[in-house]
């Protein structure tokens, strides 16, 4: 591995970004689920989830719904899988609860939207700023898993302290190459 200055700088920035500044005491504990760690103190009523890049099933938004009782909006512009009930005409809502469900299941309200996320809006692409518009401070949990577009979206987000202030938690999957 080459220790070029830009790689070292990037590594330090990534390490700083993933090092929590709130510990277990400040969070009131953590709930671990798959690839996600949820700060329990951040999971409050009056907050919603915005999930970008859902594919066939979005376990992150299911946890927000079924564990924390939060409504979610799910965004993905890739063609729907024929296997996925998320993209069907009748969304799966677990009126009696979702415990043990083998298919996507939500105990709270949710929307599935065929919209791409990007830094520049066009016909099928919208910005994160548009989706945060009108929200109160710290009122959105956001998950980004958008196949390399997250770098442009993050750059745009960092340019607006107003929009950043609306995000309570940010779960992110980064791709180091395009």
pLDDT tens digits, residue range 146-178?
887 888 888 888 888 999 999 999 998 877 665
Tens of pLDDT, residues 42-85: 998 889 999 998 887 899 999 999 999 999 999 988 766 544 55
Burial class of residue 11 (count of CB atoms within 10 Å of its CB; 0-12, 13-18, 19+): exposed
pLDDT at 39 over 50: yes
Task: Please state the pTM of the whole predicted model.
Answer: 0.83
CA–chain centroid gap for 162, Å, is 19
Least Cα distance to 103 among 53, 49, 62 occurs for 62
């Amino acid at each position: 591995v080459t220790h070029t200055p830009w790689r070292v700088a990037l590594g330090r920035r990534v390490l700083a970004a993933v090092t929590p500044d709130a510990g277990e005491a400040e969070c009131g504990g953590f709930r671990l689920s798959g690839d996600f760690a949820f700060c329990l103190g951040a999971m409050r009523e009056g907050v919603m989830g915005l999930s970008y890049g859902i594919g066939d099933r979005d376990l992150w938004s299911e946890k927000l719904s079924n564990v924390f009782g939060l409504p979610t909006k799910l965004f993905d512009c890739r063609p729907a899988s024929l296997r996925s009930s998320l993209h069907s005409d009748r969304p799966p809502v677990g009126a009696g609860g979702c415990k043990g469900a083998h298919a996507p299941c939500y105990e709270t309200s949710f929307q599935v939207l065929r919209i791409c996320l990007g830094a520049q809006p066009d016909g099928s692409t919208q910005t994160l700023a548009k989706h945060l518009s009108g929200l109160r401070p710290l009122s959105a949990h956001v998950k980004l898993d958008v196949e390399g577009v997250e770098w442009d979206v993050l750059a745009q987000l960092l340019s607006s302290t107003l929009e950043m202030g609306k995000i309570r938690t940010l779960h992110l999957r980064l791709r180091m190459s395009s």
